[in-house]
Amino acid sequence: MKPDKIRNLTDAELQHQGRDLADQLFKLKFQLNMGQTESLKKMRGLRKDIARVKTILGERQRAAATEKK
């Protein structure tokens, strides 16, 4: 997922997207441990997407905190 696309989402959508991505990652890890999949590339992509979502949420929270001061 591209950062530009993530930035266009609202905070609630970002939180929902983060939960969905974390759930997908959990399922992939479980399948990997069970020997049902070997999609390490998809796991890397999911981890990066989760990091992007968390980064943008953090940026927004810091921006909101500085506006309050």
What CATH code is carried by the domain that includes residue 56?
A: 1.10.287.310
pLDDT in tens, 23-55: 999 999 999 999 887 788 999 999 999 999 999
Among 8, 56, 16, residue whose Cα is nearest residue 64: 56
Range of the domain at 47: 3-68
User: What pTM value is reported for the model?
Assistant: 0.86
For the cut 90, the answer to whether the pLDDT of residue 69 exceeds it is no
d(CA 61, CA 44): 26
CB 18 within 8 A of CB 54: yes
pLDDT of residue 18: 95
Residue 49 CB: number of other CB atoms within 10 A? 21
Query: How confident is the prediction for the chain on average, in pLDDT?
Result: 91
- Split into its structural domains, the chain has a count of 1
